Amino acid sequence: LLEDEGSIEEAEAEGAKKPFAATAQGLEELEDRKDEVKALLRRLGRHGERTTTVRSHDVFRAMGNLGSVLKNRAKAGKLDEATINEIVDMIDEMAKRIERL
């Protein structure tokens, strides 16, 4: 679409990727819409900040701990049918609660 509008054109390069460069018309449009461009870049920057503050490593560590505890209990023979059913119910309930967050 941008190429069809004359805003970008294919640039010379080696390799499999097809690079593009802004044309004079494209640069002029960017200048005319610089406030929109700045707002978009701010939004993208905030998105990056938000994703870097997510502590997903803590979530995966906790899941690993849960897996280790379950394996250790199973190896020690401490998982009878009733206990397994209770654990499954607990995990299913927690999954539902997390899904609703």
26-62 tens-digit pLDDT: 999 999 999 999 998 888 877 766 555 567 788 888 9
Phi-psi region of 6 (alpha: psi -120 to 50; beta: other; left: phi over 0): left
Spatial separation of the C-alpha atoms in residues 25 and 7, rounded to whole Å: 6
The whole model's pTM is what?
A: 0.45
| 24 within 8 A of 16, measured Cβ to Cβ | no
For the chain, what is the domain count? 1
User: What confidence score (pLDDT) does residue 54 get?
Assistant: 62
| 2 within 8 A of 25, measured Cβ to Cβ | no
Q: Where in the sequence is the domain holding 62, given as residue range(s)?
A: 3-99
